[in-house]
Amino acid sequence: MTTLEDARQADAEGAAAAVPQPVSTVSFDTSPEAYQHWSLSVDGEIATLLLNVAEDGGIVPGYELKMNSYDLGVDIELHDAVQRIRFEHPEVKAVVVTSGKDRMFCAGANIRMLAASSHSWKVNFCKFTNETRNGIEDATAHSGLPFIAAVNGTAAGGGYELALSCEQIVLVDDNSSAVSLPEVPLLGVLPGTGGLTRVVDKRGVRRDLADVFSTTAEGIGGERAVQWRLVDAVAKASDFPAEIASRASAAAATSSRPGAGARGVALTPLGREEDGDTTRYKHVRVVLDRAAGTATITVLGPTSVPSSVEELHEQGAQGWLLAATRELDDAILRLRTNELSVGTWLLRTEGDVETATAMDQFLLAHREDWLVNELIGFYKRTVKRLDTTSRSLFALIEPGSCFVGALAEIAFAADRSFMLEGQFEDDDEPAPPAVLRLDEFNTGPLPMSNDLTRLQVRFLGSAEELAAAEAAVDRDLLAADALGLGLVTTAPDDIDWEDEVRLLIQERASFSPDALTGMEANLRFAGQETPETKVFGRLTAWQNWIFQRPNAAGPEGALRRYGTGQRADYDRKRV
């Protein structure tokens, strides 16, 4: 299997490269004309995503992206491309993911980048990678958009994970190409950030064969890869294009996407204004208090509701839900990547309860429309980002808020929620008391990664409490009502509000952030386990623990010695 060896040798040439330097601000803004690593083409109902990584295009200086290896910048483009296919190209009914390099599909995450990156950088990189792969799987499951991995060369580590996220994997049979998870034998780290889970839970590979596979550095190719269910098919190089075309056409025939004639929604650039510690979008506002270690994130509710689904389509990227979700998604990503010391997020909403309710009713009534389906799915994935964000989340439900239905999910994603009882008496014109209103969005369409609603997770220990909460749908719940139903943590009055919130923030800032991350990640994913919760709750934690161990990251560890010809010097004690 010479291509994998070639990749190792090529990477060794960069062993003496400069240590990557952190960038001051990571931006998630991009578009197809700005891509360095991916190209997106559409031919009728088939889209092709071609990976051809620019070696000198790393998001951070200090390493080369050889052999189609990737870093955060490569994944930012992939995430953007998948979003654009979903929203801008409703005519597309199947997607082919392949490589523009000869005999190399993707060598996985760049080793030099991983070896020299800080722990926090690796965590955010792995988390975003997971969310992007999950987005591909979500597109297949919920948007009728199957992905086919045309593995036209070796796929190693994260490169094979990319293939695993696709519904079908076809491997070229050329006596050298293979699929592999070589992290254990070569790097001293856990295979992938979701590779093991997808191999056994998704592909159904037998556990003993998965053990052999994950400890075989050169990987598995040919018919044996098909027999072990590592891939769906192999094809000779001469037959490979026809095999992919046939499978893409067959997959497109099963798609529920609208197809030819449907008009997409252009994802125009976000409007974002930064003024010191305040970032303003049209529908989202973020205010940092660095001394307190807080970010106050306020989502502004809708001010009007489309009169028809046709009007919603005409609004395009300016429509409230698409615009607000894109802005919230961007704010979450930028905060968790660039503001590592801002450990507590205060989640707020502002707006009219009746208008927010009417917007929910409109969306629920038209969910069979392809764009409404994509909007709901995008919002679902964005709230999931809150679930998986390593920050303390507190919801503040105050007069003038609109925690209704879909927006209420932001409060239910929080670790604790505070709802003011009564009004702020010092206001010149006190707003009416805050209300919390549930609707159908809280009972099904927006599940967590464990496939349970946030209400189901909240009341996991009591079917009676869950039933009582669900019975309160469409009622205006004042603070006492919400507290009685267990929908909020506490309901201070005007006199105690400021002190209780302040003391909570101070207390949180006094705890170990590592301990909080472990505690919060465990508590947020109560209940049943799914492949997605395994990826986030188990593999990411394990991998990033292993990444810090001397066996991997120490001066004599596998990551440091990779490609040098020297074997890692392992501490043999199991812990």
In this prediction, residue 35 has a pLDDT band, given cuts at 50, 70 and 90, of very high
pLDDT confidence of residue 136: 98
CA-based nearest residue to 383, from 325, 470, 338, 320: 325
- What is the DSSP-derived secondary structure letter of residue 66? G
CA distances from residue 187 to 217, 389, 519, 536 in whole angstroms, order as listed: 10, 27, 29, 21
Residue 412's H or E segment, with its range, is: helix 405-412
Q: Which residues pair with 274 in a beta bridge?
A: 279
pLDDT in tens, 176-205: 999 999 999 988 887 767 899 999 999 999
- Region 320-343: mean pLDDT is 97
CA–CA separation, 5 and 8 (whole Å): 5
Assess contact for 124 and 70: CB atoms under 8 A: no
pLDDT confidence of residue 1: 35
At residue 79, does pLDDT exceed 50? yes
Assess contact for 45 and 93: CB atoms under 8 A: yes
Q: Is 569 exposed, middle or buried (0-12, 13-18, 19+ CB in 10 A)?
A: middle
pLDDT confidence of residue 575: 77
Least confident of 47-51, 134-138, 152-156, 568-572: 568-572
pLDDT in tens, 428-449: 788 899 999 999 999 999 999 9
Is the four-CA dihedral 194, 229, 145, 143 of positive or negative sign? negative
In this prediction, residue 24 has a pLDDT band, given cuts at 50, 70 and 90, of low
The structural domains of the chain, ordered by start, are 28-259+533-561 (3.90.226.10), 281-524 (3.90.226.10)
At residue 266, does pLDDT exceed 50? yes
Top-confidence residue, 566 or 8: 566
Q: Which residues of 86-119 are buried (b: 16+ CB within 10 A; e: fewer)?
A: bbbbbbbbbbbbbbebebbbbbbbbbbbbbbbee
At residue 534, does pLDDT exceed 80? yes
- What is the DSSP-derived secondary structure letter of residue 404? B
Average pLDDT, the chain: 93
Is the four-CA dihedral 528, 531, 533, 538 of positive or negative sign? positive
Top-confidence residue, 296 or 567: 296
Assess contact for 178 and 158: CB atoms under 8 A: no
Amino acid at 305: V
CA–CA separation, 53 and 38 (whole Å): 7
CA-based nearest residue to 183, from 479, 535, 560, 552: 552
Q: What is the three-class DSSP state of 43?
A: strand
Amino acid at 127: K
pLDDT confidence of residue 73: 97
In this prediction, residue 567 has a pLDDT band, given cuts at 50, 70 and 90, of confident
At residue 132, does pLDDT exceed 70? yes
Q: What is the three-class DSSP state of 524?
A: helix
In this prediction, residue 39 has a pLDDT band, given cuts at 50, 70 and 90, of very high
Structure tokens at 202: 């998704």
Structure tokens at 138: 């979500």
pLDDT confidence of residue 228: 98
- What is the DSSP-derived secondary structure letter of residue 166? S
What is the pTM assigned to this prediction?
0.93
Q: List, as one string, the DSSP characters of 425-453.
A: TTSSSPPPPP-BB--GGGGTTS--TTSS-
List phi, psi (to 5°) of 169.
Answer: -125, 125
Structure tokens at 247: 């499978």
pLDDT in tens, 145-166: 999 999 999 999 999 999 999 9
pLDDT confidence of residue 23: 53
At residue 345, does pLDDT exceed 60? yes
pLDDT confidence of residue 571: 87
Assess contact for 111 and 159: CB atoms under 8 A: no
CA distances from residue 457 to 166, 424, 451, 470, 563 in whole angstroms, order as listed: 29, 32, 10, 13, 46
pLDDT confidence of residue 423: 92
At residue 9, does pLDDT exceed 70? no
- Token look-up 């409007």 returns 271
In this prediction, residue 10 has a pLDDT band, given cuts at 50, 70 and 90, of very low
pLDDT confidence of residue 559: 82
Share of the chain above pLDDT 90, in %: 81
pLDDT confidence of residue 221: 97
CA-based nearest residue to 384, from 449, 436, 330: 449
Q: Is 21 exposed, middle or buried (0-12, 13-18, 19+ CB in 10 A)?
A: exposed
Least confident of 284-288, 416-420, 427-431, 450-454: 427-431
